Amino acid sequence: MKKKLIIILLIFIILPLTSCSGNSDKEKTVSRQTPLPSKEDSRMLMMEKLTLDLPEEIRKTILDDINGFMDQIALVLKLPTDTFLLADKQNFLGADYKPDDIVMLTDYPDLVLSRDDRSLREILIPDLLRMVEDARKEGLTLLISSAYRSYEYQDRLFKWNVEQNGLETAERESARPGTSQHQLGTAIDFGSITDEYAFTPPGKWLLKNAWKYGFSLSYPDGYEDLTGYRHEVWHYRYITPEAAKLQRDYFGDIQYYLLVFINENKEELESLL
């Protein structure tokens, strides 16, 4: 009788252990069969997250062509970081900011200047010269009316605009010191610096072709709430040909979206390459 009780007890003890062991083996088997996310899946998940703040049409353009987008942005991320610095009403450069490669434009006879004291960063000169020469071949002159401005110069200019037009108008048409793209040394005002420039042959040519040489219209029509400034048909910023193409292909050709996206997501994007 005692032997039977011992045998029964052993059965009750062993059976659960066997059952647990079997389940564990099955769980391990299932776990081994679950595939890890592919590189493409990981890219998609990350890009879905990074593009959440973009307009839906732009977001869809990127997500529908992840590989093409990554190929282009890989080229852009290899370029000097300061090429894409933000300078606007939310991003202050500081009184001491000045690029270390500023050159006088009088050193380049092919450039047509409104004044002899104009200067820009050397990094953009080769593409600027190409653009000016190609426009000249079509009988057009690209007059450089304004270029690099120091913090002090912009301070005087903004105060003058306030005196002439009042604060509200000045805020729409002139940057406060430390927030102007001109302080970057990569922004140019072309021609008459008036709305009428859009209807001139040089103005029309720039709007159609400037991107090929790395120049992007900073303040397009209809985006004042975004950029902080009214439409300026004469104001172009150099962002490199690679970035200008990326802007056209994936960011609705709006500079603001491109620059904010790069500045906010640079590390995450580099991790995907």
User: How many angstroms separate the CA atoms of 51 and 48, rounded?
Assistant: 6
Beta-bridge mates of residue 121:
102
DSSP classification of residue 91: B
> In terms of pLDDT, which residue wins out, 16 or 238?
238
Q: What is the pTM of this model?
A: 0.86
Number of separate helices (H) and strands (E) present in the chain: 11, 7
Class of 80-239 in CATH: alpha beta
> In terms of pLDDT, which residue wins out, 37 or 109?
109
pLDDT at 187 over 70: yes
> In terms of pLDDT, which residue wins out, 8 or 133?
133
pLDDT at 239 over 80: yes
- Maximum Cα–Cα distance across the chain: 116
pLDDT at 14 over 70: no
Residue 17 banded pLDDT, cuts 50, 70, 90: very low
Contact present, 175 and 93 (Cβ < 8 Å):
no
Which amino acid, one-letter code, is at 138? E
Which amino acid, one-letter code, is at 105? L
User: How many angstroms separate the CA atoms of 132 and 140, rounded?
Assistant: 8
Residue 23 banded pLDDT, cuts 50, 70, 90: low
User: How many angstroms separate the CA atoms of 273 and 209, rounded?
Assistant: 30
Chain mean pLDDT for the chain: 90
User: How many angstroms separate the CA atoms of 55 and 59, rounded?
Assistant: 6
Structure tokens at 150: 């120091």
